[in-house]
Structure 1
Amino acid sequence: MLRYFLSALALMLVLEGLFPFIAPAVWRETFQRLTRLADGQVRFIGLTSIVVGLVLFVLFY
């Protein structure tokens, strides 16, 4: 079980690092816009990300 968790974590880190590596200026501007959002909006984005991830996990696992 720990092996799968670490594999998923490693894949997440690779995917998270692609965008700043490929387009750092665009990534920086997007991140700055995100910091200007209200807490409720950031929470909604986080919740949406969690739900999409769980749905994909259930569909493909």
Structure 2
Amino acid sequence: MIHTLFVAFALLLIVEGLGPMLFPNKWQRFIQQVAQQPLNQLRSMGGVMVVVGIVCLFYLL
């Protein structure tokens, strides 16, 4: 179980690192745009991401 969590974390780091590594200028502009969004919109986006992740896990396990 713990091994699977480490594998999932490693894959997360790889996927998250691809954007800044391959497109640093676009990534920086994207982060600036996200930082300017209202907090309620960021909270909603985060909630949607969590729900989508839970649904994906439900169907994968």
| Both proteins in one fold, TM over 0.5 | yes
Gaps in structure 1 of 5+ consecutive residues: none
Q: How does 1:1-61 map to 2 (within 5 A)?
A: 1-61=1-61
1:20-59: CA deviation from partner (whole Å, max 9, x where unpaired) = 1111111111100010011111111111111111111111
* Structure 1 ranges of 4+ moved more than 4 A: none
* Number of residue pairs the alignment of both structures matches: 61
TM-score scaled by length of structure 2: 0.89
Gaps in structure 2 of 5+ consecutive residues: none
Q: Distance in 2 between the 1:56 and 1:26 partners?
A: 28
Q: Give RMSD over aligned pairs.
A: 0.9
Identity over aligned pairs, percent: 31
